[in-house]
Amino acid sequence: MAAGLIMSDSVLEKITRQIVDDPRSGQSLLLFALLATLNVEKTGHMYMLGKLKEFTPENRQLAYAVIELMANNEIGNEAWHQAYAQMEQAIRG
C-alpha cells in the first residue's frame, strides 16, 4: 500500500505542476476535467473515454495512472484533496 501512495503522490504532483505551470493549456484542462469528474463520486465518474485521444501520449499515461488511483480507492485522501485544491485554484486563476 505504501508503494501505491508514493505512486499516487507522484502522479498528483506531476499533474498539479503541469496545471499550475500552464492552467489555460488544453492538456491542463483535459487533466483537470478528468480529476474533477473523479472528485465527485455521485457523477458515476462520467468521463468520455474518447477524450483520451486528445491527450498527448505522456498525459495519457498520467490519465491512466489517475484511473488506477480510482480503481484502488485512493481518490479523496489528503494528498488528493491538497493537489486538487491547488489545481482548482490555478484553473480558476
pLDDT along the chain (93 residues), means of 10: 49 95 96 88 70 93 92 89 95 93
| Residue found under cell 498520467 | 62
CB-based contact 49:55 (threshold 8 Å): no
The reported pLDDT for the residue numbered 18 is 96
Of 85, 89, 27, the C-alpha closest to 61 is: 27
The reported pLDDT for the residue numbered 89 is 97
The reported pLDDT for the residue numbered 38 is 85
DSSP result, 14-52? HHHHHHHH-TTSHHHHHHHHHHHHHH-GGGT----GGGG
Cα 79 from chain centroid (whole Å): 12
The reported pLDDT for the residue numbered 81 is 92
The reported pLDDT for the residue numbered 43 is 62
